Amino acid sequence: MFDSRTRRSVDAMNQRNVTFTDGSISASDRTVASDRLSGLDRRFPATDMPIWLMLVLVALGLPRTVLADLDIVAPEDSLLYYILALTPFAVWLVVAILRRSRRPFRDFLVLGILYGMSLLVVHQSLWDLGPSLGYHPPQSAVDFADQFSPAWQQFAQRTYTSGVAMLIGVGTGLVVAVTAIGSHAWRSSRARRAGLGRAQ
């Protein structure tokens, strides 16, 4: 009896670990493939948004930031600038309105924080390049830095621009988060009304 059970177990394992003759993939291979694909499909920490979607939404804002910092696209001075600046947030709003989420507020608050961090990293990385912020800082950053001694003025400018970057990111994330909450509440209310209608 023991030998027959052992043989059946071995046969079952062999069947799961072979590729079928008709070209289909074995259960074992499907498991390995799904494990490989599941990395970016996992939820970003503290959110209900997949990692891949979070990274894509953050990355949408990078072209405008890089091109504006390098003075390739003049800020607020061309149609291309406004397309690069507004398209990412239009996409954020579409995602906030159409995508179902169990944590709509956290999704976009975290997205806003990450976006602000991306602005900060780009500004600081490109600071010392020719046409960048280091050579043409915003007037508000210059006024802030003038309150400090010359030895500390560049540090003050960097700190100021970093703070502004985080405020822009978090503020934008909060605005879209409120939109996402409103959309989530509307969908939930509509589903409840539909459920009541069917019950009657």
pLDDT in tens, 154-191: 999 999 999 999 999 999 999 999 999 999 999 888 87
Instruction: Examine the domain organization and report whether 139 and 59 are in the same domain.
Output: yes
Instruction: Examine the domain organization and report whether 15 and 62 are in the same domain.
Output: no
Instruction: Examine the domain organization and report whether 12 and 81 are in the same domain.
Output: no
Instruction: Examine the domain organization and report whether 129 and 55 are in the same domain.
Output: yes
Domain count, the chain: 2
Q: Given its phi and psi angles, is residue 46 left (phi above 0), alpha (psi -120 to 50 degrees) or beta?
A: left
Instruction: Examine the domain organization and report whether 30 and 70 are in the same domain.
Output: no
How does pLDDT run across 54-98, given as a tens digit for each residue?
999 999 999 999 998 888 888 777 889 999 999 999 999 999 999
Instruction: Examine the domain organization and report whether 156 and 187 are in the same domain.
Output: yes
Question: 3-class DSSP state for residue 50?
Answer: strand
User: Residue 124 pLDDT more than 70?
Assistant: yes
pLDDT of residue 92: 97
What does the alpha-carbon distance between residue 97 and residue 186 come to, in Å, rounded to a whole number? 10
Q: Which structure tokens are listed for 200?
A: 């009657």
What does the alpha-carbon distance between residue 176 and residue 129 come to, in Å, rounded to a whole number? 33
pLDDT of residue 24: 46
Picking from 66, 62, 52, the residue whose alpha carbon sits closest to that of residue 95 is 52
Cβ burial, residue 93 (10 Å; 0-12/13-18/19+): middle
Instruction: Examine the domain organization and report whether 23 and 98 are in the same domain.
Output: no
Residue type, 80: L
Instruction: Examine the domain organization and report whether 14 and 59 are in the same domain.
Output: no
pTM of the model as a whole: 0.77
Angle between helices 79-98 and 51-59 (to 10 degrees): 160
Question: 3-class DSSP state for residue 49?
Answer: coil
Instruction: Examine the domain organization and report whether 24 and 74 are in the same domain.
Output: no
Domain hosting residue 87, numbered range: 43-199
Instruction: Examine the domain organization and report whether 57 and 138 are in the same domain.
Output: yes
Instruction: Examine the domain organization and report whether 97 and 51 are in the same domain.
Output: yes
- Count the alpha carbons within 13 Å of 8 in the hemisphere toward its beta carbon: 5
What does the alpha-carbon distance between residue 138 and residue 141 come to, in Å, rounded to a whole number? 5
Instruction: Examine the domain organization and report whether 24 and 71 are in the same domain.
Output: no
